[in-house]
Chain A
Amino acid sequence: MNLDLTSEQEMIREAAVGFLTERAGPAALRRAAEAGSGYDRALWDAIGRELGWCALAVPEEYGGMAMGAFDMALLAERMGQALLASPFFATVCLAAPLLVHAGTAGAKETYLPAIAAGELEATVGLSALGGVWWPDAGAVAAGVTARPDGAGFRLDGRLPHVPDGATAGLILVPARIEGGGIGVFAVTPAASGLTVRPLKTIDVSRPLADIRLDGVAVGAEALVSDPALVAAGLARALDEAALALAAEQVGVAQGALDGTLAYIAERVQFGRAIASFQAIKHRCAELMVRIEVARSAVMGAARLAASGEDPQAAALEISAARALATDAAFLAAQEAIQLHGGVGFTWEYDPHLYFKRAQASGAWLGGADDHLDRIAAVVCPA
């Protein structure tokens, strides 16, 4: 497998590094957290409308660039490294793949061009944000029921943790359809019977909302999934989202390590920079190894996923990447606090921002143990 970057991919990476270094990062996150929406509107507009990153994963026929999972992973890593607070993940990594892989032609035409253009913020209302979609993709739809009602449906249920749920203009809701099957429904925040409650989160980079659906009436056109594609499409979309999340976590780990290295190079005790102590060098070296290995796993899984050749094999590799990246992110953030010493425990210094994001992201879309269990089910069936 060739893991070289093409010159185009190098360009994306360089552009991302430049832009995100300037516009995102811990200080920007702190400012965004104090803004009402939880993210920097101007930054999001720049990403979607000027840089065109929202178009990356969208097929060309819907106004996208069709770059695929590998490019997305490169970008997501940089976003994690910069602790980016943005509707990007929910819109581009979660909602767009769901439309791409499970959507009807009509739904794709309606929503994907707007997503690609950076004009629509979207999200997916999973029944359990921490839940898993294997062996049965329907599990993620278990919390909402769609009852046929005239030409349309009525939706009832609860989605306790929807990423960017309070700001999204489009909420895709996987639901169980009474009488059989699962479907994905497009719901707008203005719908009658929909209650959206923004949640206060410890990880300020990732806003969540608690959404209730009480008899939300939708028309037939709101059923945006193709019945023939929905089960496999849901699974594949969530795998791609998990991969992007793994890439982000590698970035979170790298960001935590980089910040730590900068601090310990300056901090002097016993007449020497504390970075010169072997106890500290070894722990940083260990982190570097763990991060590089997780990065390798992400790149390999992304290459396989992008090829589209073997989604089942790709799914396992994504789980491997997720398990390794989740552990690497948490370890790096934990060490960031420890190696900063007392100030690592303060609000003023940045380690807690990485620490909180590492833990919160680690629980999304299956925790490390869930992903290991998925691997075990295939490589060592009992």
Chain B
Amino acid sequence: MTANDTTMDAGFRREVAGWLNEHLTGRFEPLRFRGGPGDGDAFPDLRKEWERELAVGRWSCIGWPEEYGGRGLPVPLQIAFHEEYARAGGPGRLGHIGEGLIGPTLMAFGTERQKQRYLPPIVAGREFWAQGYSEPGAGSDLAGLKTRARRDPSTGQWRVTGQKVWTSLAHVSDWIFVLARSEEGSVGREGLSFLLMPLHQPGIEIRPIRQINGGEEFNEVFFEGAVAEAEDIVGKPGDGWAVAMALLGFERGISTLGQQMTFAHELDLVVEIARENGSLRQPAIRRRIAQSWAGLRAMRYNAARMLSGFGKADLAREALGYKYYWSHWHRDLGKLAADVLGVEADVVTGDPRRERLQQLFLFSRADTIYGGTSEIQLNIIAERGLGMPKEPRGKA
């Protein structure tokens, strides 16, 4: 009911859909529509195998240049891929942090050795990455981070001590990139370094965090003299902030544009349940569904405008507000789903469709927090989009 396709490349879409139809079956069948946000800890082993299946079909890292093992596909085709993937119910990508974040960062800032060592296993779906940014005392204000890295003069190794938090999928990952304070006494954005570290080592302890939906997708990661090899620093010591921010810029929302297909599925499911349980007869529910539909269409066209703007230097206004809009739209959809379920929203039934809506209701609460809270988004929109005065900063 919701999305008609942008007319990018129907043949490519058929190829993607055909491959998924053929491969997302058999032992991979249970993965359909699983492992998305809030469900990230579902079937980790099988999803790793699925990543390898994608790699064999050359569907991993499709936007990467060919010299690094990708297909070098242009943005519109990448989006088409993400949409077809979501449409087919492709599971949440365990390889996302490697493919979307650290891979492009290494291509831009990494040494030749780092590229040769780390990029091929990402393409092949053999090594998985976690992101070590946030800390208990450094959330929205990331520059307040305290985790320290000290160089061992005898070996050149870095020794890392401190704590990271909200580390998605650390418990099923192999490597973590860590932003740490490498200069004694430095504050703010100065004196930080960007390090690559194996997660399975004696100085690292991973403790899962149980979320409001009962799942355990995030972790606390404790570092106690954990080791990063001398050659595993990205950029120079002290350049960590620039590398860390560049990493956040690489993704540019390409995969989140594909998520609109997932949103459309969720809205369809809300309508389906509302029809079954009779709440669709309520005018207020119908209007909220229509409002949701209108917002989804608007997001789609907003994405089309953003695409037109890709390649331009500054993020345009429509791109600045995108995260804020989709996260609130999705949170509203979660509330609508719960209201449509009524009393049943509270009851654990084991019915997978109802469970999906319950998960939507609970996990969409995270949407307006992770990846920059709504409050931080509004600051950025006001300052960069409207040229309003910057927030005053307290003394560090």
**Cβ-defined partner of A376 (8 Å) among B290, B299, B381:** B290
Are B388 and A276 within 8 A (Cβ)?
Answer: yes
CA A321 – CA B305 in complex, angstroms?
15
Are B321 and A372 within 8 A (Cβ)?
Answer: no
Q: Across the interface, which residues of A come within 8 angstroms of B305, CB to CB?
A: 3, 296, 299
Question: What's the least CB distance linking B67 to chain A, in Å?
Answer: 30
Is B211 an interface position by the 8 A CB rule? no
Secondary structure dominating the interface of B: helix
Q: Which of B286, B325, B387 has the most CB of A within 10 A?
A: B286
Q: State whether A284 and B6 are in contact (beta carbons under 8 Å apart), knowing that A372-B290, A379-B290 are contacts in the complex.
A: no
Is B142 an interface position by the 8 A CB rule? no
Are B295 and A293 within 8 A (Cβ)?
Answer: yes
Are A323 and B382 within 8 A (Cβ)?
Answer: no
Q: Across the interface, which residues of B come within 8 angstroms of A380, CB to CB?
A: 271, 274-275, 280, 286, 289-290
CA A317 – CA B317 in complex, angstroms?
22
CA A286 – CA B379 in complex, angstroms?
10
Q: State whether A281 and B297 are in contact (beta carbons under 8 Å apart), knowing that A293-B325, A375-B290 are contacts in the complex.
A: no
Q: Across the interface, which residues of A come within 8 angstroms of B348, CB to CB?
A: none
CA A276 – CA B388 in complex, angstroms?
7
8 Å CB interface, A100-117 against B:
none
Are A382 and B280 within 8 A (Cβ)?
Answer: yes
**Cβ-defined partner of B302 (8 Å) among A282, A292, A369, A373:** A292
**Cβ-defined partner of B308 (8 Å) among A4, A286, A292, A313:** A4
Are B289 and A1 within 8 A (Cβ)?
Answer: no
CA A139 – CA B384 in complex, angstroms?
48
CA A62 – CA B293 in complex, angstroms?
39
Q: Which of A265, A301, A379 has the most CB of B within 10 A?
A: A379
Question: What's the least CB distance linking B304 to chain A, in Å?
Answer: 5
Question: What's the least CB distance linking A73 to chain B, in Å?
Answer: 12
Q: Which of B274, B280, B295, B389 has the most CB of A within 10 A?
A: B389
Question: What's the least CB distance linking A92 to chain B, in Å?
Answer: 24
Instruction: Type the 1/0 row for B278-312, where 1 means its CB is closer than 8 Å to any CB of A.
Output: 00110100110111011101111110110010000
Is A75 an interface position by the 8 A CB rule? no
Are B391 and A278 within 8 A (Cβ)?
Answer: yes
Are A300 and B381 within 8 A (Cβ)?
Answer: no
CA A323 – CA B290 in complex, angstroms?
10
Q: Which of B294, B304, B386, B392 has the most CB of A within 10 A?
A: B294
8 Å CB interface, B125-162 against A:
none
CA A273 – CA B389 in complex, angstroms?
9
Q: Which of A3, A289, A374, A382 has the most CB of B within 10 A?
A: A289
Q: State whether A369 and B287 are in contact (beta carbons under 8 Å apart), knowing that A285-B381, A289-B324, A380-B274 are contacts in the complex.
A: yes
Instruction: Type the 1/0 row for A309-321, where 1 means its CB is closer than 8 Å to any CB of B.
Output: 0000100010111
Of all chain A residues, which has the CB nearest B381?
A: A285
**Cβ-defined partner of B386 (8 Å) among A261, A294, A369:** A261
Q: Across the interface, which residues of A come within 8 angstroms of B304, CB to CB?
A: 1-3, 296, 300
Are B301 and A300 within 8 A (Cβ)?
Answer: yes
Q: Across the interface, which residues of B come within 8 angstroms of A273, CB to CB?
A: 389
CA A284 – CA B383 in complex, angstroms?
10
Are A289 and B389 within 8 A (Cβ)?
Answer: no
Is A275 an interface position by the 8 A CB rule? yes
Is A78 an interface position by the 8 A CB rule? no
Is B7 an interface position by the 8 A CB rule? yes
Question: What's the least CB distance linking B330 to chain A, in Å?
Answer: 14
Q: State whether A281 and B379 are in contact (beta carbons under 8 Å apart), knowing that A294-B298, A296-B318 are contacts in the complex.
A: yes
CA A284 – CA B321 in complex, angstroms?
12
**Cβ-defined partner of B298 (8 Å) among A272, A288, A300, A376:** A300
Of all chain B residues, which has the CB nearest A276?
A: B389
Q: Which of B4, B280, B281, B297 has the most CB of A within 10 A?
A: B297
Q: Across the interface, which residues of B come within 8 angstroms of A286, CB to CB?
A: 378
CA A261 – CA B388 in complex, angstroms?
8
CA A240 – CA B324 in complex, angstroms?
30
Q: Across the interface, which residues of A come within 8 angstroms of B280, CB to CB?
A: 380, 382
Question: What's the least CB distance linking A301 to chain B, in Å?
Answer: 8
Of all chain A residues, which has the CB nearest B294?
A: A320
Is A353 an interface position by the 8 A CB rule? no
Q: State whether A284 and B388 are in contact (beta carbons under 8 Å apart), knowing that A289-B325, A382-B280 are contacts in the complex.
A: yes
Are A292 and B290 within 8 A (Cβ)?
Answer: no
Instruction: Type the 1/0 row for B255-290, where 1 means its CB is closer than 8 Å to any CB of A.
Output: 000000000000000010011000011010011011
Sorted nearest first, the 6 A-B pairs with minimum C-beta distance are A300-B301, A320-B294, A289-B321, A281-B382, A285-B381, A276-B389
Task: Show 10 A/B contacts (Cβ-Cβ < 8 Å), sorted by A.
Answer: A4-B308, A281-B378, A281-B389, A284-B382, A284-B388, A285-B386, A292-B318, A297-B298, A321-B294, A380-B275
Partner-B contacts on A (CB < 8 A): 1-4, 261, 265, 272-273, 275-276, 278, 281-282, 284-286, 288-289, 292-297, 299-301, 313, 317, 319-321, 323-324, 369, 372-376, 379-380, 382
**Contacts beyond the supplied A2-B304, A3-B305, A296-B318: 9 A-B pairs with Cβ under 8 Å:** A276-B392, A278-B391, A281-B383, A285-B382, A292-B317, A295-B318, A300-B297, A376-B287, A379-B293
